[in-house]
Structure 1
Amino acid sequence: MGQLQRDHTERQDWARGWAKLKEFTEREGHARVPYEHKEGAFPLGQWVAEQRRAYGAGQVNGRRAARLEKLGMAWTAADARFQENLAAARVYYQEHWTLCAPRSAAGLDKPIGQWLSNLRRPGALAEHPEWEAALKAVDEDWNPPWSTEWQRHYAALRELMRDEDGPAQVLPGFTVHGMDVGKWLARQRKPEVWAADGQRERLEQLGITPPAPAPEEPKVSAETSTAPVSAFERGVAALAQYKARTGSVTVPRGRVEQLEDGAEVRLGVWIMNQKSRRAKLTTDKLSELAALGLGWALEG
């Protein structure tokens, strides 16, 4: 009697699992149930994994196998391992926002970083397009045409800016998961580094653009230029301007004189420097200083 009761309970449990799988396949269009998936409160992913294990051990009768296959059940151990690793990869994605994990990364105690790296090898998924589709469903950029390191930094930046109304200021030193995202972003914005196709579009979607090039200063020929160009000429111009305004060439040491073009000259310090360098000044320069009223410029 006890055995009959156990058999009855087992049949009910199996029928419930099959019915939940049928609901899943009718809704999703396939029977690739993630290991961690629950259909309502029923742990459907674990139930499917157990059916694969039992099938491999010869413990699934022909009728049940046929009913499961009709729903699209895949029996191989490779499929089972893929689904379990995919579940671990989803956990990693939820925390890091990308499947471009470093090789040392783990999820649910599985080495998913190395697993994903293996799947990125050329031809690794040639016979399993459904696996690639499942990975893309988690992360469209799981296998980008650029480095996984670039993608990791971009994913972190994307999540940082997701809730911002405008471009966020992410400065060097701002780290996420041990990555200096601010330093990385500053490098991306350099004109000589500005991203390649694909990368550029992704950054622009976040409002990231390279800084505008500095405007070129207008070129003025030496013949028409009236602005002083050398430090000495700026000093002479500042002293002449100060004398015209005050009538004196006695300048306080801390005096700063602003020229018409906006340049600032520390005039008091400049005069002291010229005086200390008098022996090295040319005759023409000494004459200019003397003409402005600096008596020491005339000393023998």
Structure 2
Amino acid sequence: MAHPPEASNQLAGLWLKNQRAAARKAAENAERRAAGESGVAYAGELSEAHRDALADLDPGWCPVWEIGWQRCYRLVLAHRKAGGSIPPGPGELIVQGEDLGAWAAAQRTAWDKLTPAQQWLLETTGIEPADDAAPAPSAPRSQDARWTANLAAARQFHAREGHLQVPRQHVETTTDGEEQTAVKLGAWLDNTRRRAAKLTADRRSALDDLGMRW
């Protein structure tokens, strides 16, 4: 028997809510295991393959970022779909108490600190990196430098902890001379797992040497 549209929408919403809950439980349990807690059951967790399949359909289906970011993104998306444009600075577009111009400007300048999913979502609204953060002719070197910095953080964590089971929210601080760099190591490793098929053999091997769990 076919369900009426309203009932179908409610069922779909309930199903997605359950998937999000299971995904968040999996992330929380992974952090507990990484912290050394034993006996953490896998019951009720969403498998990584299932999470990846849902992320392929919609990278924002179960955001790991704070809810305020998601709220502003949805407001920007609705504004753009209605034919509106996003101003370059603050004070010109206030929607439901949110300064969307200021928010968009902040995303542009902090582009490299966003997750790939956040960057993709912003691009669907027409928001792109600021000029000084946009890819330049030396982009391959810049990307290589970021990889090197992230790998150095992974090696530092491994040398200290003896493993590479890094909680997603973990930030590793590395030091080069007098300069310190905060690396979002947990998020980087999680994103790298999702892009495993696109890694070069050398990069994958470097992480394999640290006991990377794919």
Q: Tell me the TM-score range normalised by the shorter chain.
A: 0.3 to 0.5
> Which fold has the larger relative contact order, with Cα–Cα distance below 8 Å and residues 6 or more apart in sequence?
2
Structure 1 length as normaliser, TM-score? 0.27
Structure 2 length as normaliser, TM-score? 0.36
